[in-house]
Structure 1
Amino acid sequence: MGQWSSSFVSLACRVALQLGPPGHSLRTFFINKLALNLHDRFQQRGIMSDLDEAIELHRAVLLLRPLDHSERSSSLNNLANSLQDRFLQRGIVSDLDEAIELHRAALSLRPPGHSDRYVSLNNLANRLRDRFLQRGIMSDLDEAIELHRAALLLCPSSHSDRPVSLNHLALSLQDRFRQRGIMSDLDEAIELHRAALLLLPSGHSTRSVSLNHLALSLQDRFRHRGIMSDLDEAIELNRAALLLLPPGHSARSSSLNHLALSLQDRFRQRGVQSDYDEAFSSYSQLSHLSHPASRTDLSAAKSWAASAYVLDHPSVLLAYQVALKFLDQRVAFLSSSCRHFDVISEAVSSLATDAFSCSVRRDELTTAVELLEQGRSVFWTRLARFRTPLDELSGSGDIGTALAEEFKRSSFCLRSAFHQYTEDRSLRIQQLTMQWDDVITRIRMLPDFSRFLLPPLFSDLQKAAEHGPVIIVNASQYGCDALIVRNAEDPVHVPLDITQAEVFEFSSDFHALSERFGSSDNQLKLVGMLRKLWNDVVDPVVQVLRESNVCPGSRIWWCPTAEFTLLPLHAAGPYERKKKNMSDIYISSYTPTLTTLIRARQQISRDASSQHFVAIGQGNPVNGRELKCVAPELAAVAEHVTPVVSFTSLEDASATVENALDALDHNQWLHLACHGMPNQREPFDSSFAMRDGPLMIKDIIRSNWQNSQFAFLSACHTTVGDEKSPDESIHLAAAMQFCGFRSVIGSMWSVEDEVARQIVSAFYGNLIDDSKRLDCTRAAVALHKAVKSLRKKIPLEQQIVFVHIGV
């Protein structure tokens, strides 16, 4: 009913605005009413266009309310609140910055004595704390604390908001303590939490929150001063909070986690078995969560898994399974925005790789594969496992279309509910969960959708090895391992005699070396590093492959994790006379995940006669150095390809961002020769340099290309991704693959212009055989042959720079 009334009010306001010309006395009222209504409707339905329009209307109202207008401060707050909501959805920091400045302006219009000054002080303080949590700028936090102090002075003991104001100041002081370690900040926070608790009698809806806050601050003080009475009190407070949070309550997981951590601390101090048992009994309750997991639920499950491993508790594997189940649920109802990628990748960290290692150490090899697949490349998983099935669902008929829209709406409402801190929040989440579960149940009843949102089983993942073994190479704090996945047999475990710390150091050294390739000294260092990679990682795998009768010359697929993703496994070898290197034994390809490889094989390949090939070359990009061999490279591509397929070329002035995206909509084969511009801090801004600017990953992922076959990315650093989250594979080559290309060739570091031309010419000469047909499944072999034919002509680092990804 709320949605219908919201739509009716919006319509009425629009009609009134049409009837009331500019200058009409009520025009500002109706614009403001429409803006507020659209914001409200956005919070109900999650349609971003409603929020965008609300923001523009709030801007219009602000223009109509000059500095001396009595309602200007309200308009400033309304616009700031809408921008804050958009920041939460899209993660655009400029929205948060503008919201802060608007709250400053509103505060300046509410001087001491103004009835709403308290509200503006709190609004500005809260947004500054948000920005501190986003950027870590201490001046924001210091200012937030002073503003919270000022707000508290306006809240006498009888004021209904005084407990909230006390808690806000206390939480900001705790933040500052964690940054600077000044004990007086923590001591003051504890006293403020105590004062808030005294104002919240038994039965108060937020008493459990204050109990938890006080418990957490006491636990912090115990860890710095070692006073056992602080820890004992924290445990009792956590227990009291849990009594107020029945199963199903949205805040229960956080309390369970805090209690378990405090009990573990006490167990380490006193060795009382009952504390150990109660800690893991508390954790085990997480497995019965009755709503889709929130960020705090996922954090609690991660804490359980880490604690169980460190304390050798038998629940460790269950803990990892629960944590990855929670991750799946989080991914399911989050949008595919860059902000949510940051949130998830930060929350996940090493979860999947540690789960894999834990499973391997318990000889649960198929479980290891399943858990690793669940927890890696979560952004691309969001696109592949959720967007694609939703597209298929929408295309399956009227029922499917309706269910897809209902699922999107339910997901948004749940996501919004987790961000709201109202008294009925938990009840609202329970109601929305029932709706969310119901729509998923109905979707799974449709043909071909029985496993909608469910992670793949090993029996399905095993299909990735249909055309050759897939070797998972994993680095974890618990150890490093390889696991060989085969099509019709159980996985084979290959222990690796190297630690995660050593892999990290090795990958850092290799990256530093790759920045200096060119001199003879660096050639010798490169050979030394490739030998170490062979001895520590690749040779043990090759020995098992040989024992498993994988024939020399066969294709294999590497699926590396963590820092292994940064190393050229395909190029390892002894580099000694009469001894074979990896490239002399097997033909290597890579895949970010098993599911990616399976999906690429499932895509239908049309006959070559109906396909189209585009070569895009940009040797003179805006603000970039000239690439002199781009034109000769495209000429070499045309020479080989034109006789067998419809061929188009875009060069120089024609090679713009818009033209490139348009060409990709109409061509299944792509050769791209230009500068590659990786951005390891903001990986979605990694780009190809076009004539008029960058073609970014975030442009690419908005595309929905049909029947894309092959992309040769003749550019530098196209497999270089996010330095903080290498397992997420947010790089240019992965973007092309996850957006539809079945087979991709990319580069691990800088490519010399002339070398690229030579390799490209040799590659296409090998790709097109006597059948005169293009087949993307021959790309790996063609690259292998091309490099082999040029070994005596180009330096080692350029021989191994290109890698094949996909089928």
Structure 2
Amino acid sequence: MLTDQMAVADDQSPAAAIHAAALLRAAVRQTDRRGLEVSIARLRLLASRDGHQGTASMALSTALHVRYIWSGDTAALAESVAVAREAVRAAGSDVSLVELTNAAVGLQAWYGETRDDIVLAQLTTLIRRFAVRDEPSGGGPAAPHLDLAEVLLDQHAGADPRMREALKSARQAAEAEGGSTALAYVTFTLRLLAKQRGRSALLDAAIAVARAAVAAVPGSTTALAQLAWVLLDRHKLLGDADALDESIKLGRAAVDHGDPENGSRPLAALPLMSALSARYATTGERADVEAAAAVGHRCLQRLRVDDPRQVPLLAGLADVWSEILERTADRVALDEVSSACRRAMALTSHDHPYHADLLVRLSTALHRWYEHTGDQSAAAEAISLARRAVVRSPTDRADVMSHLASLLITQFRASGELALADEAVELAERAAAAEGRENAALLSNVSVAHQTRSEVTGALSDIDRAIAACRAAVSAAAADDPRRSTYFANLSRALARRHAITGDTSYLTMAVEVARRTVQVLPAGQRDEARHLANLCDLLLILAAAGEPDNPDIYDQLQEAVEIARMAVRLTPPGDPNHAARLAQLGLALQKLSERNGEPQALDDAITTSRTAVDMTPLDHGTRAGRVAHLGHAYALRAQVSQDGADAREALTLLRAAAADRSATASVRAGAAARAGRLAASAGDWREAADDLAHAMTLLRRLVHGTGHGLTTERALNELAGVAADAAACAARSGDLPRALSLIEQGTRMRLAQASDANAGTANLPALHPTLAHELREVAEALARDDAADDLTRSPAEAAATVAHRRRLDERWQRTVESIRALPDFADFFGPPSPASLLAAAHQGPVIVVYVSSICSGALLVTPHALQHVSLPELTESQVGARANAISTAESASLDAVVADTLAWLRDTAVTQILAALDGLGTYERLWWMPVGTAAFLPWHAVDDVIDRYVCSYTPTLGSLRLARDRAPALPSTHSPGRAVAVAVAYSETESQVLLPGVSRELAALVALLGEQLRILAGADATRDGVLAALDRYPWVHIACCAISDPARPSASRLMLADGQLSVSDVRARPLRDAEVAVLAACAAGRSDAGASAAAVHITSAWHLAGFRQVIGSLWSVPDAAIARLMHSLYVEVTRRGHLDATAVPYALCASTRLLRQQRVNRPSVWAAFIHVGV
């Protein structure tokens, strides 16, 4: 029918174009897709005949734009823009406002597709054309508002000059023809720039222009809606409540003024719907959401089912219901979002620009549902939809990629799957690059992605990239960008994390300064001020804790923390969900200040404030246990001063309650249990104290199993060493020596298992029961991830979901461990080993277990039929740590004096007492030392009375000693002619790769003594693959190359070879069934750092735990000439029978050490360095 009507007019007459344009309007009103296509065909013909001038060209441009809106056909949009440009070009100076406006509409849509600044420049240039039109005298009603907008832009540093020119041109248009439409387009452009660049001055300019448009054409639906939008933008950017109220009022007016016949009312409803949902986000009044939804549904009812205008309305409805999901897990809201998005997607093709946005909306809603409920299927679907959005975006859209990256980060935190973090980082980087310029928000997202990945990897490269991205974001943000404080906050967190990884307090100091800057740049009235103040308080408390005890700045830092915490409390009203958290933080700051200066009033205030915080925290809240524990510790501190038994009892009650709370993280519970144990010990309740500390050990066990989780595992390991020693001390003081031995053995196994699977049950589990081993590893890593995450939550529902998740993990862990203990030979799995099995480890000679405790250090003398305890009160943690660090940091010239002083100190504080007790147990030739923690780095074997009387060995645990003995020796008891049983590995990292003189002499002596029994891998032949193959083949390995010891991560201790490094973990990964003896005659096989913690493990123990029955190594670096002399003496002794004799190794080392001491009695740094570990 339309075709017939169009044929009535003469194709050559101007009336034909006018008639075709009228038919186009009819097709648009009726959503007649066929009519639209007929109109396009007709108008394209007419436009070509009139040289792309006049009505036909303008109507064609509009028709093509409508096709784009209905179908998402970007080719149609491109043609629409090209036709409009050609019409403007052909019209020259006679161009009409309608032609300019039509071209502007197309360019704005094209900019929306491409985000290309060149297109934005073209749009500004087009608006500039208004300036050449005749300007009537006098100003119009818009003139004062345009003056204001121009002044604002001129005052705004760095304002885009194109925008000032656009405003000037729009003023002329407004004065010439009313200019409502042109002003609306300028408003749109300013809104877009304001949201992208976070510039409040641009936003205020947009408001001024929008008000001018309303004044120019009072009652204009378009003008009212545009002003409502921009006021809503101001509320969202700056939290302006008045702007929100006015936006709602204007939105209602736009809906009331809309003309149902031309279709303006349906889309005019969008700003009202958005403003009502924004008010719900502020007040929580569900009626606003329901009112917004009602407005949307009324508008939808007026449209045909296939009307493409349904799409933005349905998207608006999805946004309205999504606001509820930001607060709570509301199934109705999720269903409404899903229904609206799916209906809208059914109306759009896959390449329609709205399609990707709809996918993102639904993905976001499902992700919120997952955050509230823990529904993994929702999380998976959210990611799947986000992936589809990335694929279906016409171009690389930064916002879509950034959305997917954020979902992957959340899923990574839940699963620990590193591939997810890698993908998130790549997407965040792509999103930032796709913007084509430095975008502060996207750069900040890059930083978050890298920081998150570093939580597991601990990689400094991630932290450094995060810091760089944050700094770039801060630089890119405008001075009046309200989000600038967020970028500073992210930078502060990144700097603090670098300190946490490296221990470099300079980064912590910078983090504090940046946190102060974060507060300074906050806009007035910013709702996040309290949160940023709380972050600053946290960092000040960490900085104070990291300082040296005698640092006078600590008091000032704690005072500032208290004042900052008070400000945060004042800014957080009692009804706010974070009020209890702010009070808890203030209580902690007061407690730390009291600990520093001894002020009783500060401690009383801390207890009062912390008690209020606890009372305000729900019983099932994930942070409650931590707050209860802090309150308990405050009571304990007051009890120490006042000796008030009531305070002490209250402290114990609170700490034990926190330890039992399954809603808390494992580290919070373990810390509370440990404090309770130490408090009970101070009161002499030794048995209860041992129970509390043993409970802390079982909780820490969860965090140190398997691969661990970065800093969480490191902190747990350090805590575990002290807790196990204190538990053993309490058990010993209670008279229960078997339990004391079991506890110290259990704690040591747990600590070593993280790096070396020292626990026999753990080591065998993967091979015998892989499914259970995998389940155990998964749940342990999930527990560590939960521990590493913060407790900041957006809603009570999310807090409840966190608690439910922790309880599920707790049940899963207990169920898995119980299943393993039900297996044959696994009854003691992850529990204290039976005392009988431990005593059996001493059947070839006593084992001296030395533990260093804050309560009271001691030694347990283990023999097959007896167990004796020796109290060592002068063997303090501080002294042991200081002695070990002194040896590791001493210069060569002073090392002898340091070692001699240490040997004398060991004799006086511990060894004399131990040997006196040992004399009462019998006469022995062999003696094993098992010093725990940092004490393992001291030369117990070299004390005068010890080296003269006993052949000494070391063992990391009693269990590992039994395992080594239970394995049959790999070396033959007699010589087998022609068979090589040993390999020597020698490599020098010198530039010429020439072996050091001492190493060359060492190898020559080995060749002379061993002959055909020896194979040599030296120089370029000392490769990783070559050495690994040799370890499989030869039971005796002699290492004569540089090594790096990593006491904190013994699996990372490594040898430097011709083509790389060989770590202990590489060795442990081999099935070393015949590994008998490893001699680490390395030029730097001892400790490489000066600050190994109590959780440290020596490299010799690491090789022993990797599979070698016996290992010889040095506690510190020894000159290569001295090593060569000792090694020659050693090998002379072990080859006296004509072949390598593994049974002679400990005797040979003892004899060689005694000989070297006779020769160089004043050089204890030479003769006391080497130790024997194993059988």
* TM-score interval, smaller chain: 0.7 to 0.9
SS at match of 2:1112: strand
Output the CA distance in 2 between the equivalents of 1:383 and 1:563: 16
Q: Which amino acid aligns with 1:412?
A: E
**Distance of aligned partners of 1:300 and 1:274 in 2 relative to their CA distance in 1, 3 Å threshold:** same
Q: Which amino acid aligns with 1:58?
A: A
Output the CA distance in 1 between the equivalents of 2:953 and 2:1068: 23
1:592 aligns with 2:956: yes
Output the CA distance in 1 between the equivalents of 2:759 and 2:621: 30
> Paired residue for 1:571, among 936, 939, 942?
942
> Paired residue for 1:380, among 734, 746, 752?
752
**Distance of aligned partners of 1:605 and 1:79 in 2 relative to their CA distance in 1, 3 Å threshold:** farther
Structure showing the higher helix proportion among its residues = 2
SS at match of 1:255: helix
1:309 aligns with 2:673: no
SS at match of 1:281: helix
User: Retained in 1: the 8 A contact 2:934–2:1092?
Assistant: no
> Paired residue for 1:618, among 974, 984, 987?
987
> Paired residue for 2:586, among 214, 231, 239?
214
Q: Provide, for residues 730-789 of structure 1, a one-character-per-residue CA deviation record: whole Å limited to 9, x for no partner.
A: 3322221222222100113343434433433343343346595x5644421232344456
SS at match of 1:350: helix
- Correspondences of 1:461-500 after superposition (within 5 Å): 461-487=838-864, 489-496=865-872, 498-500=874-876
User: Retained in 2: the 8 A contact 1:173–1:189?
Assistant: no
Q: Which amino acid aligns with 1:308?
A: A
> Paired residue for 1:50, among 410, 420, 435?
420
User: Retained in 1: the 8 A contact 2:933–2:1097?
Assistant: no
Output the CA distance in 2 between the equivalents of 1:416 and 1:496: 39
Output the CA distance in 2 between the equivalents of 1:213 and 1:311: 29
SS at match of 2:581: helix
> Paired residue for 1:560, among 916, 931, 952?
931
Q: Which amino acid aligns with 1:458?
A: P
User: Retained in 1: the 8 A contact 2:757–2:763?
Assistant: no
- Correspondences of 1:98-117 after superposition (within 5 Å): 98-114=465-481, 116-117=483-484
Higher relative contact order structure (alpha carbons within 8 Å, sequence separation ≥ 6)? 1
SS at match of 1:395: helix
User: Retained in 1: the 8 A contact 2:742–2:835?
Assistant: yes
Q: Provide, for residues 265-309 of structure 1, a one-character-per-residue CA deviation record: whole Å limited to 9, x for no partner.
A: 444555543222212222232453436853233332333333333
Structure 1 range deviating more: 432-441 or 535-544: 535-544
Q: Per-residue deviation at 1:48?
A: 1.7
Output the CA distance in 2 between the equivalents of 1:650 and 1:116: 61
**Distance of aligned partners of 1:531 and 1:103 in 2 relative to their CA distance in 1, 3 Å threshold:** closer
**Distance of aligned partners of 1:635 and 1:227 in 2 relative to their CA distance in 1, 3 Å threshold:** closer
User: Retained in 1: the 8 A contact 2:625–2:664?
Assistant: no
Output the CA distance in 1 between the equivalents of 2:402 and 2:760: 39
- The equivalent residue for 1:652 is 1019
Gapped regions of structure 1 (runs ≥ 5): 574-580
1:319 aligns with 2:688: no
**Distance of aligned partners of 1:115 and 1:431 in 2 relative to their CA distance in 1, 3 Å threshold:** farther
**Distance of aligned partners of 1:129 and 1:541 in 2 relative to their CA distance in 1, 3 Å threshold:** closer
Output the CA distance in 2 between the equivalents of 1:427 and 1:530: 54
Output the CA distance in 1 between the equivalents of 2:533 and 2:820: 46
SS at match of 1:446: coil
TM-score relative to the length of structure 2: 0.59
1:281 aligns with 2:653: yes
Output the CA distance in 2 between the equivalents of 1:455 and 1:228: 42
**Distance of aligned partners of 1:479 and 1:618 in 2 relative to their CA distance in 1, 3 Å threshold:** same
Output the CA distance in 1 between the equivalents of 2:720 and 2:992: 37
Output the CA distance in 2 between the equivalents of 1:683 and 1:102: 33
Structure 1 range deviating more: 505-514 or 321-330: 505-514
> Paired residue for 1:362, among 727, 734, 740?
734
Output the CA distance in 1 between the equivalents of 2:1153 and 2:590: 63
User: Retained in 2: the 8 A contact 1:359–1:367?
Assistant: yes
Q: Per-residue deviation at 1:378?
A: 5.3
- The equivalent residue for 1:434 is 811
Structure 1 range deviating more: 135-144 or 720-729: 720-729
Output the CA distance in 2 between the equivalents of 1:433 and 1:254: 17
- Correspondences of 1:636-651 after superposition (within 5 Å): 636-641=1005-1010, 643=1012, 647-651=1014-1018
Q: Which amino acid aligns with 1:571?
A: A
User: Retained in 1: the 8 A contact 2:1024–2:1060?
Assistant: yes
Q: Provide, for residues 502-555 of structure 1, a one-character-per-residue CA deviation record: whole Å limited to 9, x for no partner.
A: 65666677668883379xxx69x977865664455334433433332233xx22
- The equivalent residue for 1:404 is 773
Output the CA distance in 2 between the equivalents of 1:420 and 1:606: 51
Q: Per-residue deviation at 1:167?
A: 2.4
Q: Which structure has the bigger radius of gyration? A: 2
- The equivalent residue for 1:145 is 515
User: Retained in 1: the 8 A contact 2:709–2:781?
Assistant: no
1:671 aligns with 2:671: no
Structure 1 range deviating more: 733-742 or 73-82: 73-82
SS at match of 1:429: helix
Output the CA distance in 2 between the equivalents of 1:728 and 1:668: 30
Aligned residue pairs total: 774
SS at match of 1:720: coil
Q: Per-residue deviation at 1:650?
A: 0.7
- The equivalent residue for 1:805 is 1173
SS at match of 1:672: strand
Output the CA distance in 2 between the equivalents of 1:223 and 1:585: 48
**Distance of aligned partners of 1:359 and 1:388 in 2 relative to their CA distance in 1, 3 Å threshold:** closer
Output the CA distance in 1 between the equivalents of 2:615 and 2:1121: 71
SS at match of 2:997: coil
Identity %: 25
Output the CA distance in 1 between the equivalents of 2:990 and 2:777: 40
SS at match of 2:893: coil
- Correspondences of 1:151-300 after superposition (within 5 Å): 152-153=522-523, 155-156=525-526, 159=527, 161=528, 163-175=530-542, 180=553, 181-182=555-556, 185-201=560-576, 204=577, 206-223=578-595, 230-245=602-617, 249-268=621-640, 270-290=642-662, 294-300=666-672
Q: Per-residue deviation at 1:382?
A: 1.6
Output the CA distance in 1 between the equivalents of 2:494 and 2:416: 22
- The equivalent residue for 1:353 is 725
User: Retained in 2: the 8 A contact 1:636–1:761?
Assistant: yes
**Distance of aligned partners of 1:430 and 1:226 in 2 relative to their CA distance in 1, 3 Å threshold:** same
Q: Provide, for residues 45-76 of structure 1, a one-character-per-residue CA deviation record: whole Å limited to 9, x for no partner.
A: 212233224323433444333116xxx44542
Q: Provide, for residues 78-122 of structure 1, a one-character-per-residue CA deviation record: whole Å limited to 9, x for no partner.
A: 332221122111222332222122123234444245464454343
Output the CA distance in 1 between the equivalents of 2:407 and 2:814: 29
**Distance of aligned partners of 1:593 and 1:722 in 2 relative to their CA distance in 1, 3 Å threshold:** farther
**Distance of aligned partners of 1:658 and 1:313 in 2 relative to their CA distance in 1, 3 Å threshold:** same
Output the CA distance in 2 between the equivalents of 1:291 and 1:440: 20
Output the CA distance in 2 between the equivalents of 1:3 and 1:668: 50
User: Retained in 1: the 8 A contact 2:731–2:740?
Assistant: yes
Output the CA distance in 2 between the equivalents of 1:513 and 1:169: 39
Structure 1 range deviating more: 97-106 or 299-308: 299-308
Gapped regions of structure 2 (runs ≥ 5): 1-373, 548-552
Q: Per-residue deviation at 1:149?
A: 0.8
User: Retained in 1: the 8 A contact 2:446–2:466?
Assistant: yes
- The equivalent residue for 2:47 is none
- The equivalent residue for 2:1146 is 780
Output the CA distance in 1 between the equivalents of 2:1102 and 2:569: 51
Output the CA distance in 2 between the equivalents of 1:683 and 1:606: 25
